Structure 1
């Protein structure tokens, strides 16, 4: 997957950096304290990182694609770490929120539970975790990329053994031009448990 984004970094950057996702920010940010710490996982173009920085949030961002990191750092003028989801590490229970906008959808279904569990370690108690997936119930391959589609039932099943519980889910149309026929599952999760 990283190879795809390294080889198509500029095309992906240009196709996503100006997409207006204000409606998604408005679902999460009202719950956060002033100057909250936000972890932007799989930050891609850096679009959301820059938005959060401009709102005076403290942002840690990472991506697995070296080419996208280069573009995102130029765009945001902010350091972007190089990491996969499962390799990422920072101080535990240090983040007020995790932002995973259209990024975890590339994690295979059989690794998603472990990925949620790992990332939740970095959330403070009652910290929030926004994520989005293409709406569905299967894994698909398209144009050199794999996607794990989720619906509400599958998401709930994945979280049964985790520290995370569902606070809210909602369905949206794709926010990119000419993609309105694609539906997305959006979720805000909350960390309520502390077991390892």
Structure 2
């Protein structure tokens, strides 16, 4: 009786023509969208990562009264977390807002060195790192969060500190992209030189 033996193809043997054509067609389909794949994948990963971050502090960006009022309400439901406010309202007013929300004065830390959003981060990154803080709730308005988050991920991210955005509705349009681009470059310049500049 004759036996048919199947000889396996050597790994180095060329692919059959039809399989090579299939792979080439697939490559041609993917090439036009390839520039989009990495940003989309990164954005998806970043959003997924946010679901498991457990912040160790609340970081409120000063600049408008609503941020501190919202920050005080948010701190009320996270009573065990320290609150840091960068260049916000005068000390007396800020303390009254947080006291009214039931936040312990011992949990409140006020810092007035920052003069803009970039320096909100650069003036406090060393302090957070020295205290072993590796993640923070980033509190600001919805129109400001894209720029603030971009800066935070560069400045805080350079020290392994993750940011988890928390926003309130401001009713204002989102800031122009050019502001985010400008301050991202300023943040990178700070990484390279230690100089953050200012307004």
Query: Is TM more than 0.5 here?
Result: no
- TM-score normalised by L of structure 2: 0.41
- Rg larger for: 2
- TM-score normalised by L of structure 1: 0.41
**Higher helix content, 1 or 2:** 2
